[in-house]
Structure 1
């Protein structure tokens, strides 16, 4: 009888995984896109201060990602998900009442921690879903995640002027519903059971696992290159979540245009992702990821030359195509090249690299914007992303076992 999968969840119904992803994304998208705008426009803080708050939050989220991976592999995924969802709800609910400076930052950081854990756990749960290839599951998650982005940013664009507290009330309600779903639907199997056989393990077997040796997650050159690419991708992406709203306002565009931008982005993903995924699924992971990264990087080069809303839309559409090719493929690729026994830590690594980009992105862009170096900001992320994408391609070309990268 196998005992090396104790403390792993049973097979989760994909429907509940997707609904949870949708709710989490919607609630999240009602908070993060307006952080910089709220801190600079309402709380009267500088771009650098706002960037610092988001940087600390991203560090905390990165720690949460690490914790989430460990909890999935070595503790109880269900209990971890329940506790995390409740903490997120409490943090967002508190922002309804306490959203002045500096207590505002403290509750944002608490939400960062729980959301970091939650994202890793959801991705790790996705590797256990039956009935679909892991690649397809992550593509489906990516689609509903972006539906959530559309809904959340629409709410921000049309409700922000009515007050930050209203947005937090709606977001807290969403997280309350998410908590109920997690409590009732994620406890899919007795965690002391062998999920391969469906039989309950004897008490002696459960006790014996206290001294068992867990397989360790090991970084390979390919994983390091993938991690570096995730870092620069999400550092760059943070520009759209932080400085683009104020930048568009500087160009004379209303806040509603920023919400419209994300709505168009989300609709594009919803309509085209299946076509993009069908193409990507016919090719090795690295083909889709590298092509998507190059397209993603080019969008920042073209961003240097735009100054009207529809020009920004076209550039954002280019970025969206690159994102569709890259983002949903990476967690599935990492799951494919790492052992199942470290699924939680592997997805934790993905989330940590994403969070590390979010750490540097806000403070870097904040300092650059405070000095008026907008062009340099866009050009620098373009250059670095092209360099790292090239390094990933070079690393892959040097691998002896070509089958391991497909």
Structure 2
């Protein structure tokens, strides 16, 4: 891998480690320390995710205009300013205001990180995005584990630790990213040679693919919300539930390189890779739907993790392939905002289905969402193939 990609990987680990100090503990802090209801905590998290969606789209467009370096510095600066404020003022309503700003700032960062990864190692294809994906999950595992330790001493130290990690990330970006992808957005725009009609069809293909991607995230996030609550009802301890996510992170870090080797030998297309992943998701939720003890959920989580290793890195790879020159950031912004949107809508949909009906109905609906996701994945590039065949016939 190129040196520039290693710098991006290290930056992503530090970035997500910092974020992961706080996000798993947000609900606990709002409810237990600020004395607000779980409904209010949910609204705060939804506002944070909504701001992140806006940040994703803005950050992606910004990458195309001013380049990755300036975009990432801006995103880090906004986030760091909010974190410094949160370190000193973490009462109510300051907490909600800073969470919205943090969501927007971090949202700007991610599309640029993915777009830069694809640009610095174009010949690597999916491997560049796999590397960023693994780095992201390593950051989640390390940050969540350290966050629990720090919170045990003092919850206030969580805000300081998060701030320190972002200062380190800022230093990595300032001294490491300036030379990466030196061309400006204007230079990239001049290079555009693709007809407007093809660009529009590429964007339509991405939107169709992201429809299924959104549905997969709506289902996936149930593991953090409705399924988490359900495990408590059937007397699975919080320690056991937390262990499921530790296993998830460890499997991704260890298993993704092994999976890359398997996919390389199978020469599987990205479309087949995604469909296999969704199929594995279906098996995972079938197992979870029947689980009545920790062992059942453990098996379901292992299966789920294998599925996400197939899907999550593949979608940004497809987006990078579809993106015209000078629009790579915008396309990555769409992908990241879709994932964030799924994380925002999933808890609401899942909670309503469980409250109005039952967990069984929720699992049936989720299986239906996966079937729709398979269809959108099968069909997303249909018009592009037709267009290509027409051009070949004309020649």
TM-score range, shorter chain: 0.7 to 0.9
Distance 1:59-1:225 versus aligned 2 partners, 3 A rule: same
| Residue 120 of structure 1 pairs with residue 111 of structure 2 | yes
Find the counterpart in structure 1 of residue 393 from structure 2: none
Query: How is 1:266-285 mapped onto 2 (pairs within 5 angstroms)?
Result: 266-281=249-264, 282-285=267-270
Who is 2:66 aligned against?
A: 75
Alignment match, 2:369:
384
Q: Tell me which residue corresponds to 1:86.
A: 77
Deviation of 1:326 (Å): 0.8
Tell me if 1:325 matches 2:307: no
1:301-380 paired onto structure 2 within 5 Å: 301-368=286-353, 373-380=358-365
Task: For 1:192 and 1:18, locate their aligned partners in 2 and report how far apart those are by CA, in whole Å.
Answer: 21
TM-score (normalizing by structure 2): 0.85
Find 2:23's aligned residue among 24, 29, 32. 32
Contact 2:211 2:376 in 1 (8 A): no
Q: Retained in 2: the 8 A contact 1:97–1:165? A: no
How many pairs align? 380
Residues 167-215 of structure 1: CA distance to partner in whole angstroms, max 9, x if unpaired? 2222222111101101111110695679xxxxxxxxxxx8xx7x97978
**Does the 8 A contact of 1:153 with 1:259 survive in 2?**
no
Closer/same/farther in 2, CA of residues 234 and 70 from structure 1, 3 Å limit: same
Change (3 A) 1:72 1:325: same
Contact 2:67-2:181 at 8 Å conserved across structures: no
Aligned Cα root-mean-square deviation (Å): 3.1
Partner of 1:146: 137
Over 3 Å counting, the alpha-carbon distance change for 1:402 and 1:374 in structure 2 is: farther
In the TM superposition, what is the alpha-carbon distance from 1:52 to its structure 2 partner? Answer: 2.6
Give the structure with the higher percent helix. 2
Partner of 1:218: 200
Q: 1:293 to 1:115 in 2, by over 3 A?
A: same
- Matched with 1:3 is none
**2:100 match:** 109
What 5-or-longer segments of structure 1 have no aligned partner?
Answer: 1-10, 195-205
Of 218, 225, 229 in structure 2, the residue corresponding to residue 235 of structure 1 is 218
Counterpart of 1:175 in structure 2 is 166
CA shift for structure 1 position 133: 0.9
Is the alpha carbon distance of 1:303 and 1:252 closer, same or farther for their aligned partners in structure 2, counting shifts above 3 Å?
same
For 1:302 and 1:186, the matched residues in 2 are separated by: 44
User: Helix, strand or coil: the match of 2:108?
Assistant: helix
CA contact (8 A) 1:248 1:258 kept: yes
